[in-house]
Structure 1
Amino acid sequence: MTDPEYLDRAEAALAAIERGCDRLNDATDADIDNQRVGGMITITFPNKSQLIVNLQPPLHEIWLAARSGGYHYRHDGNVWVDTKTGEELFANLSREATVQGGQPLQFAAG
């Protein structure tokens, strides 16, 4: 993947995460706060726990930091997959947000 391809795909993923936060706040009482600074989104839950998603351009990866640990995702041509588990980014983000937010919270790429 070229650098411009990585940036296009990674920016699309961050935009989907931002839209997901807005949608969840409209559709649930999750009351999550999301702040984006450059290539990093910090999602803060009412209990003050956070999820941090940030771009790693030199590695062509997206990283997710959660209470359960850190995850590194590379694009496989279709989706962002964890380099260790093979789990898809938005599935893992949904699981981690559900745990930290205390209610079912779904994120999607689209």
Structure 2
Amino acid sequence: MTDPEYLDRAEAALAAIESSCDRINDTTDADIDNQRVGGMVTITFRNGSQLIVNLQKPLHEIWLAARSGGYHYRHDGQAWVDTKSGEELFGQLSREASAQSGLPLRFTSS
């Protein structure tokens, strides 16, 4: 993947995360806050816990930091997939957000 292809796909993923946060706030009582600074989105939950999603441009990866640990995702041509487990980014993000918020939350790529 070229640098421009990576940036297009990675920026689309961050935009989808932001859109998911807006949808979650409109349709649930989760009251999550998301803040984007450059290539990083910080999601803060009512209980003060956070998820941090950031771009790792030199590696062409997206990283997720959660209470359960850190995850590294590369685009496989179809989706952002964890380099160790093969887990898809938005599925993992949904599980981590649900665990940290105590509510069933769903993040989607579109």
How large is the Cα RMSD of the aligned pairs?
0.2
- Residue 51 of structure 1 aligns to a residue whose secondary structure is strand
TM-score (norm 1): 1.00
User: Once the 2 structures are TM-superposed, how far is the Cα of residue 71 of structure 1 from its aligned partner?
Assistant: 0.1
User: Once the 2 structures are TM-superposed, how far is the Cα of residue 84 of structure 1 from its aligned partner?
Assistant: 0.3
2:48 match = 48
2:12 match = 12
Structure 1 segments, 4+ long, off by >2 Å, are: none
Aligned residues: 110
TM-score (norm 2): 1.00
Paired AA for residue 96 in structure 1: E
Give the unaligned 5+ runs of structure 2: none
- Residue 72 of structure 1 aligns to a residue whose secondary structure is strand
- Residue 5 of structure 2 aligns to a residue whose secondary structure is helix
User: Once the 2 structures are TM-superposed, how far is the Cα of residue 80 of structure 1 from its aligned partner?
Assistant: 0.2
2:93 pairs with 1:93: yes
Give the unaligned 5+ runs of structure 1: none
| Equivalent-residue separation in structure 2 for 1:103 and 1:48 (angstroms) | 14
1:38 match = 38
2:67 pairs with 1:70: no
